[in-house]
Structure 1
Amino acid sequence: MKIRSADVNVTSPGRNFVTLRITTDDGLTGLGDATLNGRELAVRSYLADHVVPLLTGRDAGRIEDTWQYLYRGGYWRRGPVTMAAIAAVDTALWDIKAKAAGMPLYQLLGGRSRRGALAYGHASGQDIPELLDSVRAHLADGFQAVRIQSGVPGLGPVYGVAAGTGSGGTRYDYEPARRSADGPALPVEETWDTRAYLRHLPRVFDAVRQEFGPELPLLHDGHHRMTPIQAARLGRDLEPYDLFWLEDATPSEDQAAWRLIRGHTTTPLATGEVFNSAYDYTTLISERLIDYVRSAVTHTGGITAMRKLLDLAALYGIKSGLHGPTDVSPVGMAAALHLDLAIHNFGIQEYMRHDPRTLEVFRTSYTFQDGLLHPGETPGLGVELDDEAAARFPYTPAYLPVNRLRDGTVHDW
C-alpha cells in the first residue's frame, strides 16, 4: 500500500485549521491535523513545500519508519512547526492503517481500557455570579468536571474568560482571536496584574465550592502568568478547595522551576500544552514534578510520539490530560480520544465544543454523553473532511492576544 498523493487544506470555519490528507494507491485516505494557532501558513508551507514531496511512493504502513525519517532526516529537529507537520503525517497514516484493518483506531492501540474519557469543560465569568451561572450551564450540558476561570477586579478582558454567557448560558469561544477583512489582523493586547489575581482567586474557588459542594472536580489554568514562588503560593492557597489540577502555573521551559512549586504545595500540577516533544518533559517526569501531561497530539509529533510520551509518564505514575482547545481541529481531537480510550494512565480530556461551522467541514463520529467522550466505532479516526464545505471558509489571519503588565511590560500568558 503506497502513498499516491498528499495535499494540504487550509480552511477557516470559525477558526483556522490546517489538514493534511494522504491518499494511497488503493484509494484509502487518511487525515492529520497540522493546525498551529497564529502560524498556520508556516505549517502549510512546511508540509506542502518540504514534506509532501518526500511522501509519494512510500509504504503507508511503515508509520514508525516514516516518523523517524521525517524527524531525523530533516536535521533541524523539534519546534512547533516541524512537530505539527510530523504529527499530521503520522496521524494520517494511523487513520489509513485502521481503515485498512476495518477497525476504529483505538483497537490498533491495544483496545478499550474504559467506557469513555472523562471530559472537562471551560466555565468562566467576568465576575463570580456570571461564573457560577456558567458552571450551572456546563453541568446541565452533562459535564462532570469543569475548569474555573474568572475575571479579576480592576482589570479588563482576561484571556480564558468568555465575554459573556450569552443565550443558553454557555460560552465556549472565549479566545479573543482578532480577525479583519479590511486590514492587518493584529493581536489584542490585554493588561495583567498578578498580585490582584492571587488575592482574588481563592475567593473565586471558595464561592464555587460553597455553591457546588466538595465532589465536583475543579481545574484552573494559570496560563504561565506566575513566577515559581507566586505559583507555589497559589497552589498552597488553593489546597482547601481540592483542585483536580493547577495548570501552567509558570513558564515551563525551565523545568527545574517546578521543583520549587512542588516543594511548597500538594495541589496537583499539570503542564505541557506549549511543549512539542518528550524531551521537554524529561525533568518534570523523572522527578515527578507534575501529575498530568498536557500536550496535544497535533503539536507533539502525532499518535506515535504521544503514545511513547504517555508510556514514559506511566512509569512515574503520571497521567494524561491532553490539550483539546478549539484550535485543535476535530481530526486532532479524535486522535486524542482514541489514545484516551486505549492507554492505562488516562487522567482527563479537555473538551471545548467546536463551532457548528467547523462541524460542517469536519464530519465526526465521536460522541459526548454523561460527561464522557468516546471516539466512536467508525474505522480509522472517524473524521472526514468535506472539501466543498471547507472551500466556503477561506483562511483569515487571526492571532491570540499579547499580555502586558500595568506598566506596559510584555508578560507571559
Structure 2
Amino acid sequence: MHVTGYELFSVPPRWLFLKLTTSDGTVGWGEPALEGRTRTVRAAVSELVEDFLLGNDPMEIERHWQRCYRGGHYRGGPILSSAIAGIDQALWDIKGQQLGVPVYQLLGGRARDRIPLYQWVGGDQPGEVAADAERAVDDGYSVVKLTMTARSHTRNSEEVVEIARDRVAAVDDAVGDEADIAVDCRGRISKGRLPRLASVLEPYGVRFLEEPVLPDQNESLERLSPTVGAPMATGQRMYTRWDFKRVLGNDAVAIVQPDITHAGGISEVKKIAAMAEAYDVDVMPKCPVGPISLAACLQIDFSTPNAVLQEQSIGVHELEGNEHLRYLEDPTVFEYDDGNLEPPTEPGLGIDVDESYVREQSEKEIRWQTPLWHHEDGSVAEW
C-alpha cells in the first residue's frame, strides 16, 4: 500500500481540509489550516506531499513526520508546522482505518472515559458576554472562556484592566455559580500591567489566564508567575516541542495549549503532552477550527492522562457560516452530555467526512483574513 494522491479544499468559514488517498482506496482526512494564510499553507502541503509522501507507505507516520520536518534546512514556524499537522492527522486516520481501531488505541489506549468541553463566549459589551455565557450554560457547558476585551486598547493602561474586570464580573453574576470562567488575554495587555489584572480578577476565581503575555515574551512568564494568582496557560502560537520546552523547564505555566492544527499534528502534540506530564503541567488542546481537528484532538484527550479540558468551536457565533457539524456524515459523534464528550468508537479519527458537501462548499470564494485593528492614534493593535 502506498499514497497515490491528495486533494485540498478551502471551505467556510476559514478552514482547509486535506484528503489523502492510498493504493487500496483508503482515504484519510486532515486539517492543515492556518487561519488567514490558507493559500500559503496549501502550497506548503502540496510541496511536502509531493516531495515526501506520494508513492510511500502511509503507515510509517514517524518517518514521514521526520522527513517533512527535517527534510529542509529550515524548520518550524506556523506555516510548516500547520502543513505537517494536517498531513499527520490524515496519516493517523489512514492507519486507524487499516487496523480497525480509533487512533487513541494506537497511542496507548484510553486514559479516561470522558473529556469536558469548554465554550468560548463573546460580545462587545459585558451584558452581551453574560448573555452568551448563560446560553452556553443552558447548553450544558460548565466552563466558559471570554476574551479580556472586545477590541484592543492601549496595552499598558488601567482602562484595559477595568474593561476586563467589568466583562468578567458580568459573566460571574450571570453564571458564576454554575460555571468556571477562563480569560483569554490574547496579548492585549502588557506584561507590566498583568499583575494588576490578576489582582483585580482574583475575587472571581478565574479558572485560567490564557496567553497572559505575547508568545515572544514567554521568557517573562517565570518572573510573572508568582504575581499571578490564576493558573497561566499558553501555547496556541507555539508550534513544536522545542518551543514548549522553554516554558516547561522553569515552572512558568500550569497549562499548555498546543493547537493540533498548528503544532505538528497528533504525533507532535502527543510528545508535547508527555513532556508536560513530566513537569506536572496540564494539557488543554486548542481547537478554534474545524471538525477534523476536533476529532484529532479527541485522540489526544482520550490517550493522555494530563489532558483536562477540550476547546471546541461548535456554535461559536464569532464565525459567520460556522456549520461545524454539516461537514460530517454523522454529526452525533460530537454530541456531548452535561458538557462532556465520550470517546469515538469508529476507526481512525472516528468521523466520516461528507465529501460531497466539502466539494460543494469549496466552490465558494474563501478569503478570510485576521482582522487588522488599530489604536486611536493609528498604530497597529493586537487582535
Settle same-fold status: TM greater than 0.5: yes
- Cα 1:26/1:382, change in 2 over 3 Å: same
Aligned residue in 2 for 1:172: none
Aligned residue in 1 for 2:318: none
Aligned residue in 1 for 2:23: 25
Aligned residue in 1 for 2:379: 409
Aligned residue in 2 for 1:176: none
What amino acid is the match of 2:299? H
Q: Pick from 352, 357, 362: which aligns with 1:389?
A: 357
Q: How many residues align?
A: 372
- How do residues 36-51 of structure 1 correspond to structure 2 at under 5 angstroms? 36-51=34-49
Aligned residue in 1 for 2:179: 216
Give the share of equivalent positions with the same residue, in percent: 29
For the aligned residue pairs, the C-alpha RMSD in angstroms reads 1.9
CA contact (8 A) 1:34 1:85 kept: yes
Shift of 1:199: 1.6
Unaligned runs of 5+ in 1: 152-157, 160-190
Deviation string 1:204-257 (CA, Å, 9 cap, x unpaired) is 333433443456211011111122121222122212211110111221123211
- How do residues 88-167 of structure 1 correspond to structure 2 at under 5 angstroms? 88-149=86-147, 158=150
Q: Is residue 203 of structure 1 aligned with residue 171 of structure 2?
A: no
Q: Pick from 200, 224, 233: which aligns with 1:261?
A: 224
CA contact (8 A) 1:120 1:348 kept: yes
Deviation string 1:67-95 (CA, Å, 9 cap, x unpaired) is 11111112211111111111112111111
CA contact (8 A) 2:211 2:235 kept: yes
Which range moved further: 247-256 or 212-221?
212-221
What amino acid is the match of 1:366? F
Q: Is residue 275 of structure 1 aligned with residue 238 of structure 2?
A: yes
Tell me how far apart the structure 2 counterparts of residues 220 and 342 of structure 1 sit (CA, whole Å). 27
- The TM-score, its normalising length taken from structure 2, stands at 0.91
Deviation string 1:168-195 (CA, Å, 9 cap, x unpaired) is xxxxxxxxxxxxxxxxxxxxxxx52342
CA contact (8 A) 1:255 1:281 kept: no
Q: SS of 1:384's equivalent?
A: coil
CA contact (8 A) 1:128 1:150 kept: no
Unaligned runs of 5+ in 2: 316-320
- Is the strand fraction higher in 1 or 2? 1
Aligned residue in 1 for 2:326: 360
Aligned residue in 2 for 1:178: none
What amino acid is the match of 1:334? A
Deviation string 1:340-374 (CA, Å, 9 cap, x unpaired) is 11100012111210556443334353332210123
Tell me how far apart the structure 1 counterparts of residues 174 and 92 of structure 2 sit (CA, whole Å). 45
Aligned residue in 1 for 2:81: 83
Shift of 1:17: 2.1
Q: SS of 1:31's equivalent?
A: strand
- The TM-score, its normalising length taken from structure 1, stands at 0.85
Q: Is residue 301 of structure 1 aligned with residue 264 of structure 2?
A: yes
Tell me how far apart the structure 2 counterparts of residues 50 and 317 of structure 1 sit (CA, whole Å). 35
Q: Is residue 323 of structure 1 aligned with residue 286 of structure 2?
A: yes
Q: Is residue 244 of structure 1 aligned with residue 200 of structure 2?
A: no
Aligned residue in 1 for 2:300: 339
CA contact (8 A) 1:253 1:280 kept: no
Aligned residue in 2 for 1:187: none
